[in-house]
Structure 1
């Protein structure tokens, strides 16, 4: 047997220190992973809300293409049934009123996986007469211009996306198309 110094427990202290460092590192990694999972879930939720709002825009534009009625007879200042007239200059746009979303139109086909089905509001902005197409510029075209605002909800009610498009439809039904779109804050 070798005679030596008495054991002082230095190995035990080093082992406990390493164990503590590994535990702290593991907890930090778990916390980072949890945060990344939440961020990914929120991003997925936002994409789902965007797709729901886009589906509502497409449904509204399809409704306008298929007829949608005469704006003078169909659209009201109150926005009844999700069909509103444009307010006077300086007035609050109908889509900013919270009560209008209770009556907003719901797309015909449902969007799976969302907390609430998307809704849309069609606002008749104006009627204008423009020059005709390039092949017949002397033939003027009278066109109704609409603002379509759609609100989509993600898998949780706290995530909403609001999209707005401007849509033009010739009164004679010869053509219709989306003129522009934007995502509202």
Structure 2
């Protein structure tokens, strides 16, 4: 079993070495307050990309589960839990249940997404996510129009995974850079 985890950790570190120079990334150590009022150490990552498509087009595409998976695979893939039907569009306050696989074949376990805020007028989504060894995975997505046909796409991620926070941060940094790259490619290829 130790060999399996060593292999998984090795593969994740190798995958984390990819570079995407088109994404502005910031990383900081922060403290968050948990539900019991205790302060815990966490990480905050911010990713920002300029896209050659309208904010509305990206917003509409991002509301779809298949699109979100398309720009995330193979680094991360969500599969609905058995018997669970993913809604056509994300629903505010709803909790969606998935199984998470990374690198195309490594099962991580259950992953839950609560859609805390879906603001179509300002193109903002706030999720509260968790699963497996990750106790906090809070993602704020903002899509800001810069013209009728361009926008800035921004992810702000706060995460905590106990003693695996540093390792998870390394993987998350690579995952979001990859997702921004795929989003940019998708916009170019499909003209959205």
Q: Do they fold alike, i.e. is TM over 0.5?
A: no
Higher strand share: 2
Bigger radius of gyration:
1
- Larger helix proportion, structure 1 or 2? 1
Larger RCO (CA under 8 A, 6+ residues apart): 2
TM-score (norm: length of structure 1): 0.31
